[in-house]
Structure 1
Amino acid sequence: MRNFFILGCLLVCFCVGSGKAQSLPRYLVYFKDKANTPFTIQNPEAYLSARAIARRQRHGVAITPADFPVNPTYIQAIGQTGAKVLYTTRWLNGALVEASDAQLTAIRNLPFFKGIERNLPLAPATTAGIARLGAVNEKFGTQETVDHGRMRDQLAMLGVPELNDNGFQGQGIIIAVLDAGFSRANELVYLKPLFDSKRILDTYDFISRNTNVYDDHFHGLNCLSTIAANQPGVMVGAAPEASFVLYRTENEYSETPYEEATWILAAERADSLGADIISCSLGYNLFDDPAYDYTRAQMDGKTALVTRGARHVARTGMLLVNSAGNEGNNAWRYITAPADADSILAVGAVFSNRTYAPFSSVGPTADGRIKPDVAAQGAGTVIGNDLGTGGVSTGNGTSFSAPLIAGLAADLWQAHPNLTAQQLREVLVKSGHQAANPDSLLGYGVPVVQRAQEIILQDYSPLATEPTPLTTAVLYPNPAQDAVYIRFGSQVPSSTEVQIISNSGIALTRRIPVTRMDVGISVAAFTPGLYFVKISTPQSVRVLKFIKR
């Protein structure tokens, strides 16, 4: 975890390798508005998945113009200048483009052009990437191969086995993992159940611009393993039955502002697909070109481009879990972006005895807020590697403590689906082992499941209100093979109906009247993947989700 650049803007011009033609500079161009857009708040199905819409409804998050894609006529106009549009960003209302000086001048003259926050020079034909590989230990953490290892101790510190033993293993929760690559994840035995049950719902490499995320760095694999590994007797992760989307946003051979932009693009894609949690073990403060380095004062929760993207994540009803950084022993010492954002969980690292690991970045933020928020084991963490058919290693870094918290969050959310993302965040913070005396090393400390459950029952229990057919409805089994059942804990009105919806928003069954306390629907003919059950009464609607194996 390490750097990134300054607020929004002309993003890098990066080229990798020598002896090849240099690409044109890359710029993040901002637009004035989304005027005359073909998209509307009334028809969100045109740009958000059914799951993304359901998540907003469940959390009381309004759909706003910030959710609209960039106006397509703006993109067409940029293309007419000869510039190449690589990606668009709806949250920042802009486009990442490759453009010559003449093309950039033409873009500046377009009536909807707002600005480019900062001009960046062309990157050199060869980057400092190879020379700075020594810094990878600081950014990604270190890895040491061992003969054997189990994940139980690091999970027991959080109380995860208790949740898992009670059947809460992340079922129905989608976790987006943003990283530098997931080397051979699709070939390894400890992740085989994940692929066999088709719970990898989406992949994309925003650096190489293709869908293969399995041919690059192993860091994302290490992080994914702490959540998704499922090889009983060897290693089982925190939420082995969750579903995942995997995005490569980081180029391990260089450190440029371009990676902050790809982070935001990946977060937007995760949002549109309806992800619940983003787990990220990346961070930005220093770059190959020192001209773009952040200062300590800019770790204020609002300045870094990637931090501004993180704030958008929180506004959509997703929970962002991000590593605090591995700068504790370095001159920088402090957290890195986007860990400085509010409304997210920045995760520090401890040893197995819950004492502070000295490499873990410290707080507070530049504006005085407590960071990190929570902590988990990041020293001697058991992780999976990409050697052979996949083996056990240990690693040091907040890179590995963050996904442990993400997995815990998935299990708790499955157990308590009535919680919003921000309520879940608050529960995890309040349940920290040093919540009564937070500090700048571990924040509120290591969350403890037993305490979290007490807080939920005390502060967020739905039993405090009159039960309704919607609040008492439970879907099972999940994942499902041949059929799903919806059980109602209270009498349902005769007008209640259920219907199965695809992930793309298409109705797959007729509306089925509810005439008894248990309703069964055959899904045997459905292809494996994510589906929704929409329960409707004249007064309200609830959407439940399930995975078809």
Structure 2
Amino acid sequence: MKKTLLLTVLTFLIAEGVVFSQSNPRYLLLFKDKSNSTYSVDKPTEFLSQRSVDRRKKQNIAITTNDFPVNQGYLFAITQTGAKVIYPSRWFNGALVEASDAQLAQIKTLPFYKGIELNLPVANITSKSPGIARTDATNRKLGTTEDVDYGKMNAQLALMEVADMHKKGFQGENMLIAILDNGFAKGDEVAYFKQLRDEKRIVDSHDFVARDGNIYNDGFHGLNVMSTIAGYLPGTLVGTAFKASFALYVTENNFGESPYEEITWLMAAERADSLGADVINSSLGYTTFDDEFDSPAYNHTYKDMDGKTTIVSRAARYATRKGILVVNSAGNDGNDTWKYIGAPADVDSVLTVGATNYDRSYSSLSSVGPNAAQQQKPDVAAVGAGTIIGDLGGGASSGYGTSFSAPQIAGVAAILWQAFPNLTAQQVIYVLKKSGHLAATPDNFLGYGVPNLVKAQEIVQNEFAPLGTEGELLRDVILSPNPAQDEVTLTIPQTLIGKMAKVGLYAANGATMHSATTRLPAKHTVATGQLASGIYLIRIKVDNQERTLKFIKR
């Protein structure tokens, strides 16, 4: 497994170098196919870690050619033109490439060339120097901080009943959380991460911007964000999932706000997937960019916030469909002309987090929904006005923004999933939403409100715990997909194929929707397209044994 993981990670590290030596524009090239691949869906550990494979298997997510690395021959052919391959992309089937006009012209003649994302370069960093625009952008992410009394993190945790889970021993052990941010300055020094460092729970890190191998020499926004999850300094601060393991990725360029950051987000998410991350926290959002990219070709409009248009939103969609629970800040534009959520907070399957005050009321800084497809957003909320965060000095400060509400929810999701590992990522999101204090009256300001982990556990027990008697013969029956749209399929184990069974479809309240006796095939399909959104049950009975499986209809 160690060798496999190394090979997986190495596919991201082609042409390692320093970003500031760039002399030509960078493009996200797209390829026509993955023909003649040496990989097979039957041998996934040749290109994914075992943990990544297991995450898919647990959620009945198929491994497809989309998971294959790009054709290495294509990358080699590009380098033969003199261009530099920075990172390949499995999900987009392409590569981030630095090329001159002449080199790009040669690349366009290659038989596998399909096109260029945006039909434009995504970065030319040598033409951009630090300036006011980036300072403003950083301030929008960071908000302001001030010294506060130590120990006040308890208040923000109490709103979500986090202590109840911690007392039961669910503190994040064996959960892997990837954090995508602008840097983790002092993360290798501050006292509240000492336990994390001593236990070697930072299992992977990479700077996708500077590519200098150091995540601790850039911005500190990631440090503040991470402290709300991983911090552990009793009497000062304790994060929501302080025993989790972490993958730390720098995707934000502190010298400019550009479309390039959407590309680095994509690359980091792919690496997190390969590693087997359970949760991604992204306290980032993209709408418009710095002056250099201030044109309709780059800047997004509200119409683009439909969850499937921008590069970063498409990347987040891929991540969620690989079984990762992606948590993203709604944004801090509630008081601005652009008041809406940004990308990738607009994605249907992303858990989008707004900001509250300590009385669970809406904080006016928090961006609002719906997305451009009229889907209600955000999904849930947590304290984002005066959030207690860890600071550069190793103590506690207060911060403002959805940057700090989102990671609290990422940690909450991790410990809930730890407690109920048989749930899918989307089921965890469903449970958190239903446990929110506004679950009866969700809106486009706070979504379903602040989750409550005591209520969440009750919801899991009531709606997802196995019903009836589960016999040995039926325990290997698998239902997929979940959540479902037009149909669900029961995969029947070999020992049951050909046996007579009663298969019924029921509403959550037990009302019969459909029931029939049938001889079991290898795959038994139940139509669900006519059903309204909600929870449903499929009950299968063979002889004197019975099993009930639950699924969500979107």
Superposition TM-score, scaled by structure 2 size: 0.79
Partner of 1:358: 364
Distance 1:380 1:238 in 2: 17
Would the aligned equivalents of 2:179 and 2:282 in 1 still touch at CA under 8 Å?
A: yes
1:177 aligns with 2:179: yes
Would the aligned equivalents of 2:123 and 2:260 in 1 still touch at CA under 8 Å?
A: no
Runs of 4+ in 1 over 4 A off after TM superposition: 121-126, 467-472
Mapping of 1:430-441 within 5 angstroms?
Answer: 430-441=434-445
Q: Deviations over 1:63-100 (max 9, x none)?
A: 00010000111101111111100000000000000000
Change in CA separation of 1:29 and 1:382 when aligned onto 2, cut-off 3 Å: same
Where 1:186 maps in the other structure, the secondary structure is coil
The equivalent position to 1:382 in structure 2, one of 373, 382, 388, is 388
Where 1:462 maps in the other structure, the secondary structure is coil
Change in CA separation of 1:315 and 1:358 when aligned onto 2, cut-off 3 Å: same
Cα deviation for residue 363 of structure 1 reads: 0.3
Mapping of 1:423-462 within 5 angstroms?
Answer: 423-462=427-466
Partner of 1:240: 242
Cα deviation for residue 146 of structure 1 reads: 3.1
Where 1:23 maps in the other structure, the secondary structure is coil
Cα deviation for residue 159 of structure 1 reads: 1.0
Distance 1:157 1:121 in 2: 42
Cα deviation for residue 127 of structure 1 reads: 2.6
Cα deviation for residue 140 of structure 1 reads: 3.1
Cα deviation for residue 141 of structure 1 reads: 2.7
Would the aligned equivalents of 1:16 and 1:126 in 2 still touch at CA under 8 Å?
A: no
Partner of 2:548: none
Where 2:106 maps in the other structure, the secondary structure is helix
Change in CA separation of 1:255 and 1:35 when aligned onto 2, cut-off 3 Å: same
Where 2:287 maps in the other structure, the secondary structure is coil
The equivalent position to 1:397 in structure 2, one of 395, 398, 401, is 401
Distance 2:53 2:123 in 1: 40
Farther off after superposition, 112-121 or 38-47: 112-121
Distance 1:88 1:419 in 2: 32
Distance 1:79 1:24 in 2: 14
Where 1:193 maps in the other structure, the secondary structure is helix
Partner of 2:345: 339
Mapping of 1:394-543 within 5 angstroms?
Answer: 394-462=398-466, 464=468, 466=470
Where 1:380 maps in the other structure, the secondary structure is strand
Distance 1:121 1:230 in 2: 39
**Corresponding letter in the other structure for 1:194:** L
Where 1:227 maps in the other structure, the secondary structure is helix
Distance 2:50 2:366 in 1: 39
Partner of 2:536: none
Could you tell me which runs of 5 or more consecutive residues in structure 1 were left unpaired when the two chains were aligned. Answer: 1-14, 473-549
Distance 1:383 1:339 in 2: 22
Farther off after superposition, 247-256 or 125-134: 125-134
Distance 1:465 1:414 in 2: 25
Farther off after superposition, 459-468 or 248-257: 459-468
Partner of 1:209: 211
Partner of 1:96: 96
Change in CA separation of 1:120 and 1:352 when aligned onto 2, cut-off 3 Å: same
Mapping of 1:313-332 within 5 angstroms?
Answer: 313-332=319-338
Partner of 2:131: 130
1:269 aligns with 2:271: yes
RMSD: 1.9
Where 1:55 maps in the other structure, the secondary structure is helix
Cα deviation for residue 233 of structure 1 reads: 1.3
Could you tell me which runs of 5 or more consecutive residues in structure 2 were left unpaired when the two chains were aligned. Answer: 1-17, 477-554
**Corresponding letter in the other structure for 2:378:** P
Where 1:95 maps in the other structure, the secondary structure is strand
Cα deviation for residue 335 of structure 1 reads: 0.2
Partner of 1:44: 44
Cα deviation for residue 212 of structure 1 reads: 1.4
Would the aligned equivalents of 1:16 and 1:127 in 2 still touch at CA under 8 Å?
A: no
Would the aligned equivalents of 1:140 and 1:282 in 2 still touch at CA under 8 Å?
A: no
Partner of 2:158: 156
**Corresponding letter in the other structure for 2:302:** R
Q: Deviations over 1:3-23 (max 9, x none)?
A: xxxxxxxxxxxx998xxx762
Change in CA separation of 1:50 and 1:80 when aligned onto 2, cut-off 3 Å: same
Change in CA separation of 1:182 and 1:469 when aligned onto 2, cut-off 3 Å: farther
Q: Deviations over 1:215-264 (max 9, x none)?
A: 11110000100000111111111011000000000012210111100001
Would the aligned equivalents of 1:129 and 1:255 in 2 still touch at CA under 8 Å?
A: no
Distance 1:148 1:175 in 2: 26
Change in CA separation of 1:276 and 1:121 when aligned onto 2, cut-off 3 Å: closer
Distance 2:473 2:205 in 1: 37
Distance 2:254 2:464 in 1: 42
**Corresponding letter in the other structure for 2:174:** G
**Corresponding letter in the other structure for 1:422:** Q
Distance 2:467 2:414 in 1: 22
Change in CA separation of 1:220 and 1:285 when aligned onto 2, cut-off 3 Å: same
Would the aligned equivalents of 1:298 and 1:366 in 2 still touch at CA under 8 Å?
A: yes
Cα deviation for residue 450 of structure 1 reads: 1.8
Where 2:446 maps in the other structure, the secondary structure is coil
Where 1:270 maps in the other structure, the secondary structure is helix
Where 2:177 maps in the other structure, the secondary structure is strand
